[in-house]
Amino acid sequence: MADFQAAGVRPVAISVDPPEVSRDLANKAGYTFPILSDPDASVIRSYHLLHPGAGVDGHDIARPAEFLVDSSKIVRWTNFTEDIRVRARANEMLAAARQLR
Amino acid sequence: MPDATERRKNIAPWLGLLLAIGGIGCNVAFFVRPPLQGMLPWLSLLFAVFALIFLAIGLKRAFGQPQVYRGKVLSVVLTVIAVLPIGLTAFAFVAARKLPDSTVAPQVGQKVPDFTLSDASGKPVSLDQLLAPSSGSSSGPRAPAPRAVLLIFYRGYW
């Protein structure tokens, strides 16, 4: 987390989980970055990341994806996994963050 | 013809079962996020394929050369046991990769849509706020404007 701060990057997590679930996650994992709730998946949809019916009980959820977005809201780096078991590692995201000019 | 007690042990089905379990082990390994985790799905598949090969060799030896190899019953039992982990590995491989196309999502150089969403404390947070200096509220200490935000979309827990 301090490394991201040093790189001038603010991590933000987004899922369909309600705020209570995110709060539990933040407490358990010790996350200090914002965890945002998109319960009706409207933002996930606007980013074209909807994975219909893939959640428990057939909920629509987000496909895993990471974006580095600069101050003018332009995408500078992306990562779309092809396998839900494989996610971006913190050091990969940090490397992308440090390459930003 | 060799005596029954001199027949060789048939270890191929044991190797097959071990490899089948190794395939499941690869799936467990994802939870520790190891380096080169991108290879793990393929490694798990490799384990499953070799498990099948060794199980086939075991059965072929036990039934094709019963005068040389022991283990007719054992090779069948171990193969039946190994089918479950192999099936799970194959199923996990297919299911985990069934993802929607990402080419329509925002790409490098494109502008992302604005949003306002509730944070963990229920407070609305917009993309503009995330890109501005943070005021030092519940979401963290006072900080200057970041050069970028890292948006991490994840599947969540329900």
Could you tell me the domains of chain A? Answer: 2-99 (3.40.30.10)
Count other C-beta atoms under 10 Å from residue B72's C-beta: 14
CA B70 to chain centre: 35
Residues 86-115 of B with CB under 8 A from A: 92, 96-97, 99-100, 102, 104-115
Distances (CA, A) of B89 to A5, A55, B82: 39, 20, 11
Residue B91 confidence (pLDDT) above 70: yes
Residue B4 — very low, low, confident or very high, per pLDDT cuts 50/70/90? low
Please check whether residue A36 is in contact with residue A58, taking contact to mean a CB–CB distance below 8 angstroms: no
pLDDT digits (tens, 9 = 90+) for B17-30: 999 999 999 988 88
Cα distance between residue B62 and residue A98, in whole Å: 59
Residue A63 class from Cβ within 10 Å (0-12 exposed, 13-18 middle, 19+ buried)? buried
Which DSSP category does B139 fall into? T
C-alpha closest to that of B25 among B47, B3, B51: B47
Per-residue tokens: B149: 């935000």
Question: Closest partner residue to A36 among B38, B117, B158, by Cβ?
Answer: B117
Inter-chain touch A5–B143, beta carbons under 8 Å: yes
Cα distance between residue B66 and residue B47, in whole Å: 27
Longest CA–CA span in chain A (Å) reads 43
**Could you tell me if A73 lies within 8 Å of chain B, comparing CB atoms?**
yes
Per-residue tokens: B38: 């991108």
φ, ψ for residue A70, nearest 5 deg: -80, 180
Between chain A and chain B, the number of residue pairs with CB atoms below 8 A apart is 217
Residue B152 — very low, low, confident or very high, per pLDDT cuts 50/70/90? very high
Indicate the SS3 state at residue A75: strand
Cα distance between residue B123 and residue B43, in whole Å: 43
Model ipTM? 0.95
Degrees (nearest 5) of the Cα angle B9, B15, B20?
150
pLDDT digits (tens, 9 = 90+) for A61-100: 999 999 999 999 999 999 999 999 898 888 889 999 888 8
| Chosen from A28, A56, A76, A86 to mutate, greatest number of chain B CBs within 10 A | A86
The pLDDT of B73-90, averaged and rounded, is 95
Question: Closest partner residue to A64 among B117, B149, B154, by Cβ?
Answer: B154
